[in-house]
Amino acid sequence: PEWVKFYGQRETNSNYFSGGCSTTFYGGRLFPEEYYGNLFYCEPSLNIVHRTVLTQDGAGYRARRAPGEQESEFLASTDQWFRPMNLRVGPDGALYIVDMYREIIEDYSAVPRFLQQQYGLNKGKDHGRIWRLSPKGKALAPNEKLAKAKVNELAHALAADNPWRRAAAQRILIERGDRGARDSLVKLLRAERAAPSGVIRALQTLRALKSLESADVLVALAHEDYRVRVHGLRLAGPWLDSNQALRSELVRLSHDSDARVRLELAMTLGESNAFWSVESLIDLAERHGSDRWMAAAILSSANNRNGGRLLLGLLGRPEVSPGARALLEPLAKTVGGRRDGKQMAAALRLVSSLDNDVQKACLTGFVGSISRGGAPAPESVDGWASLTSLLGSSDSQVRELAAKLAAELPVAEADRLTAMFAEAAETALETEGEQEKRREALQILASAPFEVLSPVASKLLDSREPPSIQASAIAALGVSGDERAAGVFLKGWPGFSPASRSAVLRAIFARKNRLPALIEAIENGAVHPGDVSGVQRELLKAIPDADLAARAGRLFKEPSSEAELAARIARYRGALNNKADAVKGKVVYQKNCIVCHKLGDQGNEVGPSLGSITGKPDESVLMDILDPNGKIEPEYKLYLISAAGGKAYAGVLASESPTSVILKRVDGGTDVILRKNIITMTASELSLMPTDLHTQINPQDTTDLIAFLRTAFIGKPKSQ
C-alpha cells in the first residue's frame, strides 16, 4: 500500500510495540494447560495479539515469549484492517477479541494531507468485528445463568474455574447487598483446598458488603497461598491498632518467604498510627531493604514520628545492612524536615560511633532538609554536642557536611558544653530529684565524653535506683561507642532485674566492640550462659573474629549431662510407658508441688504455671522435674537481697517500683523491701525447685504425677 511505501519498512514493520493495549490475564480452563496464567494483549498497529508467559520474580513478574513463539506471534493477521483493541475471557472460556476494523489508525497530525485525501482516515468507522477464539475440536463451557441464582450458588461460583463467572457472581452478590451472604462467603473463605481466586473474591465481597471481620482477615493472613495473604494485608487496615492477634500475625509475616507479601506488609504497616509497626519495618529494612521497591514501600510507611523511630532503630543495630543504608538519607531528610530536634540529636549521637558512609548519609539528609529554611532551626537539650565530634572527623566529607549542618543549628560552645554536662551529671545523681528531670539529664549525658558519662552511669546502674532511672542509664551508656561501656554494664550484672538484664544485653549486642567483654564475663562465671537468648548465642558464635567465635562455641556447646543425672533420667524415662494412675498422681502433687505451684484455688503462685504441660511431651516434663536448673525462666529466678539492719530476703521478683522491690517467698507470702534499704541484690543461678526431688518421688510417682497434670489441664492422661 502507498502508506507503507511512504513510511517505510522501519515504521510499518518495526517489530516494536507502539500501541499495546487491553492486557488480559487468561484464567479460564478451555485453553490447554500451558496457556493458563498467560498474559495476552493487543497491538493494533501491527495487526497482532501477543502472548507472554509470566514467572514470579521477587515482588514482581518476569515476562518472556512462549516456547515456539520466539520469532512469531500468538495471533497475526495479513489483513491490514485487523485492528484488535480489546480482549475478554468469556463465560464459555473462549477469548473474545474486539476488532476496530480500520484501514488507518494514525492520528491526523501524523498523516500527510495527500494520504488523507487518498485513503480517508474514517474508513471503517461504521464497521467492527468481534472474534471468538477457542481451541479446535473442544466444546465450549456451558453458559449457566447466574442472575437468579441463590446466595450459596453465587458463593460457590466465586471459586469457579472461569474468571467471567467469578466476576459475575461477585457483582451480583454486591448488587443485591444481602448481608445474609456472610455465612456462605465465610464457608468458602475457610474451606480446605478452595481455589485461592475464590478465597480472594470472598474476602473482597465481604468487604464490599461491609461484613468483613478481623477474624476473616486473620484466616487470609495465615493462608498457604501468597496471593491470599497479600489481599489479607490490604484489608487489615481497620484493625491494625486494635486487634492484638492481627498485629502478632503481621509481625510474623515480616519473615514470610514470599517477596510480594513482604512488600505488601511494608505498605500496610504505614496505616498504623502506633509505634509497634516500627520494629517490623526495621526488620524488613535490615533483611530485605535491597529488594525491588522495598525501600519505597518502607519510606511510604514512615509516617509522623515513626520515620525518626525507624531511623534510630536502624542506626542502633550492630551493623547497618546495605538495604538499610539506602534508607538513611531519605529518613534523615524526613526527620530534619519535621524539625524534630530530639530525634535528630538522638540520631547524631548514634551516628558519631558508626562508619563514615553512615555518617555521610545521615548528615546529607539533615543538611538537605534543614538548609531549606522555612521553620526555625530545631533545638536540642544537649546543645547539639553530638555534632561536635563529627566536626573533628578524620574524613573531609564528614567534616564538611557537619560544618554545613552546624551552620544551621544553635550549637553550643565548648565551655558551655562542659558546664552543661556537669550540670546534667549533678541532676542525674540527685536521688531525691524528679525522675523526669533525671531522665532528661541522662539524655544530655549520652552525648558527653565517656569519661564524663561512665562514673554517672555506673552509680545509677544500681538496684537501689528506680527502674526508669536504671533504664535511662543503660540507654545513655548504650549510645557510647567506647568499648569500655561493656565493662560498666557487666559490673552491675549480679544485681540487675530481668528487665534490666534484657536491656543491658540488647545494648551490648548493639556494638560489636562490647562482645569480647561479654564472652569473658561468661567464661569467668559472672554471667550465666542461660541468661543469653538463643538468638544472641548464635550471634556470638557468628562473630567474624575466629578466636572469639570459637570461644563462644565452646561456651554454648550443649553440655554433656553428668553420668549420674543421665542414668537417673534414663531410669525415670523407662517408667513413662507404665500404666498411669492420675489419682495417685494427685497425692504426689499435693505432697511435693503445691507449695510453689497453684492449681485452681489451691497452692501458691511462686513457680511458673503448669499449664505449659499441654504443649510438652512427657520427656520434656520429666526433664523439668529432674533437672530444674537446666533452664530457669528469667521471671522465676531466685533473688537474694541483703538489707539494712542485717535483714536478708529470698524469693522471686514479683514486682518493682521506683521506691521498692517486692519478692514472693516460697511459702506464697511476699516481702516489700525499700530500695533505700537495699545493700546488695543478687540473682541466683539456682532454681527454687529442689534438685533432689528424685529422693522424694520414684519413677512410677513421676508417671502418675504427669498423668494427673494432664488430666487437670487437658481432661485426659496422654496414655488414655
Q: What is the pLDDT of residues 615-640, one digit of tens each?
A: 677 777 888 787 776 666 666 777 77
C-alpha cell at position 316: 542502633
CA distance 21 to 99: 12
C-alpha cell at position 605: 503462685
C-alpha cell at position 19: 500501541
CA distance 579 to 193: 41
Q: What is the pLDDT of residues 488-524, one digit of tens each?
A: 999 989 888 888 998 999 888 877 788 899 999 999 9
Q: What is the pLDDT of residue 311?
A: 92
CA distance 313 to 306: 10
C-alpha cell at position 469: 532511672
Q: What is the pLDDT of residue 647?
A: 65
Q: What is the pLDDT of residue 719?
A: 44
Q: What is the pLDDT of residue 37?
A: 92
CA separation, residue 406 to residues 400, 403, 707 (Å): 10, 5, 71
CA distance 436 to 533: 32
Q: What is the pLDDT of residue 538?
A: 67
Q: How far is CA 686 from the centre of its chain?
A: 35
Q: What is the pLDDT of residue 645?
A: 66
Neighbouring C-beta atoms of residue 49, cutoff 10 Å = 24
Helix 226-234 × helix 196-208 angle, to 10°: 10
Q: What is the pLDDT of residues 650-702, one digit of tens each?
A: 778 878 777 778 888 766 677 788 887 888 887 766 666 766 677 788 889 88
Beta bridge partners of 65: 52
Under a CB-based contact definition with an 8 Å cutoff, are residues 462 and 490 in contact?
Answer: no
C-alpha cell at position 457: 552511669
Q: What is the pLDDT of residue 650?
A: 73
Under a CB-based contact definition with an 8 Å cutoff, are residues 285 and 327 in contact?
Answer: yes
Q: Which domains does the chain have, with CATH numbers?
A: 2-133 (no CATH), 178-414 (1.25.10), 416-476 (no CATH), 481-493+504-559 (no CATH), 574-713 (2.30.30.100)
CA distance 35 to 53: 8
Task: Report the DSSP pairing between strands 95-99 and 48-57.
Answer: unpaired
CA distance 710 to 718: 7
Give me the DSSP letters along 359-382. Answer: HHHHHHHHHHHHTT-SSPPPP-TT
Neighbouring C-beta atoms of residue 676, cutoff 10 Å = 11
Supply the DSSP symbol for 658. S
Provide the H-helix boundaries in 254-372: 259-268, 277-288, 294-300, 306-315, 322-337, 341-351, 356-370
Using 50 as the pLDDT threshold, list the residues of the chain that sit under it.
559-560, 716-720
Neighbouring C-beta atoms of residue 239, cutoff 10 Å = 19
